[in-house]
Structures are given as structure tokens and as C-alpha cells.
Amino acid sequence: MDYDLGDDARQLRDRLRRLISEHIPDDFLGACTTDPQDLATTESFCKLLAAEDLLALSWPEEHGGGGGSIWQQTVLREEMWARHEPRGPQYMGINWVGPAIMRYGTPAQKTQHLSAIAAGEVVWCQGFSEPEAGTDLASLRTRAVPEAPDGPGWRITGQKVWTSYAQMASWCVLAACTHPDAPKPKRLTLFLLPMDRPGFTVRPIPSMLGPHHLNEMFLDEVPASPSDVLGEPGDGWRVMREALAFERVGIARYARCESLLDRMRTELGDDWARLPESIRVRWVRALADLRVARLLAYRAVALRDDPTAGAAASAARIVTTTCDQQVAELLLDVLGPAALDSGATAPLHGAIEDHWRYAQPPSHPAPLRCNECSLHVMSWENTGEYRTAARCYRLCPRRGQAPGAGGWATSGAKSRDRRRRPPRGPCRPRRPWRI
């Protein structure tokens, strides 16, 4: 396909950059920082974007959007992320909650929620991950128990963790198990719940990302009615998988990396030529990898209605988060200890230190879904088959041990005649057709 977005995209970029330069300070690093003014900046900027029909640019006009194309929305997303996402917590509602309601919501849900999201009047959070169900959401333990044997409502009890922006959210997209005896893909239901409903408790989780925006939520018999269900009862797994494809391409982290490299090149000036050749080679390689990440994101956008859209979005996410870490390490090596400074006097106003912290979580198995898990999910989506993460991510008890120490092979004449091979685990499942 042709990835040139055309003259309309260039004009939109110029318009967005002008708005950002006029309303976003140079030292802005996101909504959740030690400066409370940053959150106020995002709130006022979102209202400005909504007034300009830019906040929900690609949404249909009947839902409060700008009626633009999905490619115009892609340009908007890139320009926002190039300046540390000044839409703040609104990105969740705009990128995937709203589109999911458009696709699966009832007319009443669309009327109630979409115009408020498009106007930037409401913040959403997602209640998916749990202490023992992060990568394997189909195994989550939060239960929605019927209020009566044949009653229409539920009482929801459980715990959610790593919930971004729950401390300021008005609404939550919550996943709960309503059919515990059904096959895993048919156990879950998604609910749209107001955060002020009785039974919700939110507590902050300190993290390396800085001022808190991660939370844990406790639900103690939170009431839910059939009108709160997004989609159909028992169809939550499919709705989640398709809706989260919007989120994976909705975070244009490659644009922020490109912006940081460009700004750092400008700040270095003549010192660029004096950098070691190895650093400059890594710099050029990072720019090439970021172009690949951008094109993969464009491919995922182009395939948004295709059955392979989920796998394409996963591929874009994997490459983008890898580039995130690559650029973070590169800039640390360029600046040395000065890269860890923060504040107005730091290089790029502390953006490098902030970016390094933000880039680390995707490499860890917890709390966020790691790239290794994404590779498995992408392969399953390509085959069109369902796999449970708990079964496929399990490690052999011997994994990691040295050969000959109970690891890859045991001692003895019989084992010496055998070809050594790694234990069965996520890289070599016992029976891949029966996982």
C-alpha cells in the first residue's frame, strides 16, 4: 500500500504543531508529574481540541466527532505523542473505549457515553489485570454473581491491579467472570460501571514511572445491571481482544522517540560530529528501526477491519516498545550521568530521564504484558486459534539450569548418546496442537 498520507496530513500536522506550540509548555512531560499544573494543562488542552473538533477527529459527527479519516486520526496521534501526549488520560476513552462502544454498545450506551468522551468531559479506566491474571485475562478471578438465580443483575467482587488513572476516572470498563463453568473464551463479560457506585475502593500503587497514576481497585459486591453490559454476556473475551487492537496502535511511542532524537541532535549541535562512531551507527540504526515501527503501525491501521488486525497491532506494539528501550539506552550513553537529571535545567527539560523510566516496563513479565508474551499472542492470532496464556507461558521446572545438572540432559552413558535439547516450555510446547 501507499504510506504517503498526502497534503491533507501535512496541513493537519502544521495545524496541530501550531496549537501545541501555543498551548503546551516546552518542559511538559505528561499529565502525571510532580507539577499539578501539568494535569490542568492537559484538561484545558483537551477542551481546546474538542472545540476544534480534533479530540475525536475520526469519530462520526453524530457521536460528537470530527468526521475525519482514520489516517487523520493517525496524524493526530503521532503529533500528540511527539509532545508527551498532552491529551493525558483522555487517550484511553478516545482510542479504544469509544470505538468499542460504537461497535458493541447499545443505542442507550452510545447516547450516554460517546458525546461525553468526544467532548473530553469524562476520564475512563480499564479494570482488566489482576494479581494472578495479567497475561492470561481469560483466567481472571473477579466474579459477577447473579443477584438471584434467575435475576437480571449481578454483584461483582474481586480485585484489579495496575489500573491507570483510576484515581481520577469517572467510569471503568470492567471484565468479570459471569460463566465460570463455560470454556475460557466464554466466561467473561464486560461492564461499563461508574466509579462512584457503592463497593469501589481505589488505592495508589507507587511505581518507577514517577508520580502515581497506577492503582489497585477492590470491588465488594458492586451492583451491575444488564444495561451495564458491553456486548453480550459471556462474550467479553472477544470484545476485549478486538477492542484492545485499537489501543495497541493508539500509542504512537515511535513518534516520541523520533522527536527525542531530533531534539537531542539539535541540542548537540557541532558536538554531534565528535560522538564516537559506534554511537552514531546506533543512532542511524535507531532511526531506521523507528521507520519500521511507523510503517507497521500504519499497516495495523490499514488492516483494522481485517481478521488479522490483532496480530498486526501486536507486531507494531512489539517493535515500537523495543525501539523505546533502544532509544532510551542510546540517549543515556550519549549524555552519560547528565541524562538522569530532571527538571528545567536538565537536558531537554528532563525528557530523557522520563523516557528511560517509561520505556522499561514492557521488558518485564510483570506488571505489564511483556514483549515475549506479545510474541506468543501474535502467533496464536495468526493461526486463528485460542490459547490460554497460563498453559503456554509455563516454564519447565528445569529451565535455566546448566546442562548436566538436571537441566538439558542428565549424566550417564545413555544421555551422552542423545542430542541435547532444551526443556519443554513456552519455546517448545509439549503438544502445540493441544495446549
Position 111 scores a pLDDT of 95
Find, among 329, 308, 320, the residue nearest to 382 by Cα. 308
CA distance 366 to 85: 24
- Mean pLDDT, the chain, rounded, equals 81
Cell numbers found for residue 125: 479506566
Residue % of the chain over a pLDDT of 70: 78
Mean pLDDT over 189-212 rounds to 88
Position 32 scores a pLDDT of 80
Choice among 82-86, 110-114, 364-368 with the minimum mean pLDDT = 364-368
What does the H/E/C string look like for 110-148? HHHHHHHHHCCCCCEEEECCECCECCCHHHCCCEEEECC
Greater confidence, 221 or 392? 221
CA distance 184 to 338: 50
Mean pLDDT over 277-290 rounds to 95
Q: Residue 284 pLDDT more than 90?
A: yes
Choice among 25-29, 146-150, 373-377, 424-428 with the minimum mean pLDDT = 424-428
Q: Which residue has the cell 466527532?
A: 65
pTM: 0.78
Q: Are 239 and 231 in contact (CB under 8 A)?
A: yes
Q: Are 90 and 98 in contact (CB under 8 A)?
A: no
Position 432 scores a pLDDT of 36
Position 308 scores a pLDDT of 65
Position 238 scores a pLDDT of 87
Q: Are 189 and 106 in contact (CB under 8 A)?
A: no
Position 339 scores a pLDDT of 85
Note the Cα 144 to chain centre separation in Å: 26
Q: Are 220 and 272 in contact (CB under 8 A)?
A: no
Residues paired with residue 143 on neighbouring β-strands, in sequence order? 157, 177
Burial bucket for residue 1 (CB in 10 Å: 0-12, 13-18, 19+): exposed
DSSP secondary structure letters along 32-69: SSS-HHHHHHHHHHHHHHHHTT-TTTTS-GGGTS----
User: 364: pLDDT confidence band, cut at 50, 70 and 90?
Assistant: very low
Position 78 scores a pLDDT of 94
- Could you report the per-residue pLDDT of 58-78, keeping only the tens digit for each? 899 999 899 998 889 899 999
- Could you report the per-residue pLDDT of 170-180, keeping only the tens digit for each? 999 999 999 99
- Could you report the per-residue pLDDT of 309-321, keeping only the tens digit for each? 777 888 888 899 8
Q: Are 270 and 215 in contact (CB under 8 A)?
A: no
Q: Residue 227 pLDDT more than 90?
A: yes
Domains of the chain: 6-88 (no CATH), 125-234 (2.40.110.10), 252-383 (1.20.140.10)
Q: Which residue has the cell 481505589?
A: 202
The maximal CA–CA distance of the chain, rounded, in angstroms, is: 78
User: 7: pLDDT confidence band, cut at 50, 70 and 90?
Assistant: confident
Q: Are 362 and 326 in contact (CB under 8 A)?
A: no
Choice among 14-23, 24-33, 367-376, 401-410 with the minimum mean pLDDT = 401-410
DSSP secondary structure letters along 7-23: HHHHHHHHHHHHHHHHH
Cell numbers found for residue 194: 461508574
User: Dihedral sign, CA of 362, 364, 367, 370?
Assistant: positive
Q: Residue 93 pLDDT more than 50?
A: yes
Q: Residue 91 pLDDT more than 70?
A: yes
Greater confidence, 410 or 435? 410
User: 370: pLDDT confidence band, cut at 50, 70 and 90?
Assistant: low
Mean pLDDT over 344-354 rounds to 85
Q: Residue 395 pLDDT more than 70?
A: no
Q: Are 224 and 191 in contact (CB under 8 A)?
A: yes
